[in-house]
Amino acid sequence: MASTLPKVPPLPVIHAVDRIRHRLAALQRRLVPGHVALREIQMGGFLAQAVHAAAALGIADALAAGPRQPGDLARTIGADEDGLRRLMRVLISFEVFAQRTDGAYALTRVSRALRGDAPVSLRDLFLFFGSEYHRGHWSHLHDAVRTGHAVGPVLDGMSFFDYTAEHRELGELFDRAMTSVSNLAIAPLLAAYDFGRFGTIVDVGAGHGSLLIEILRHTEARRGVIFDLPEVVAGLQDQINRHELTDCLTVETGSFFDTVPKGGDAYILKHIVHDWSDTEAEHLLRTARAAMDPEATLLLIEMVLPAHKRPHASKFIDLEMLVNAPGRERTRDEYGNLLARSGFALTRVVPTASADSVVEARPMR
For strand 200-204 and strand 223-228, is the pairing parallel, antiparallel, or unpaired? parallel
For strand 105-107 and strand 97-99, is the pairing parallel, antiparallel, or unpaired? antiparallel
Known catalytic membership, residue 22: no
Q: Rounded CA gap, 270 and 278, in Å?
A: 16
Q: Rounded CA gap, 239 and 232, in Å?
A: 13
202 phi and psi angles, rounded to 5 deg: -105, 120
Specify the amino acid at residue 224.
Answer: G
Strands (E), 185-341: 200-204, 223-228, 249-253, 266-270, 297-302
The H-assigned helical ranges of 67-209 are 70-77, 81-93, 123-129, 132-138, 141-147, 152-156, 160-166, 168-192
* Set 137, 140, 271, 274: catalytic member: 274
Q: Rounded CA gap, 57 and 79, in Å?
A: 8
Q: Do residues 305 and 318 make contact, with C-beta atoms less than 8 angstroms apart?
A: yes
Q: Rounded CA gap, 131 and 49, in Å?
A: 9
Q: Do residues 127 and 120 make contact, with C-beta atoms less than 8 angstroms apart?
A: no
Q: How far is CA 309 from CA 26, 37, 50, 160, 336, in A?
A: 12, 18, 29, 30, 21
Q: Rounded CA gap, 76 and 71, in Å?
A: 9
Q: Do residues 67 and 100 make contact, with C-beta atoms less than 8 angstroms apart?
A: yes
The catalytic site residues sit at 274
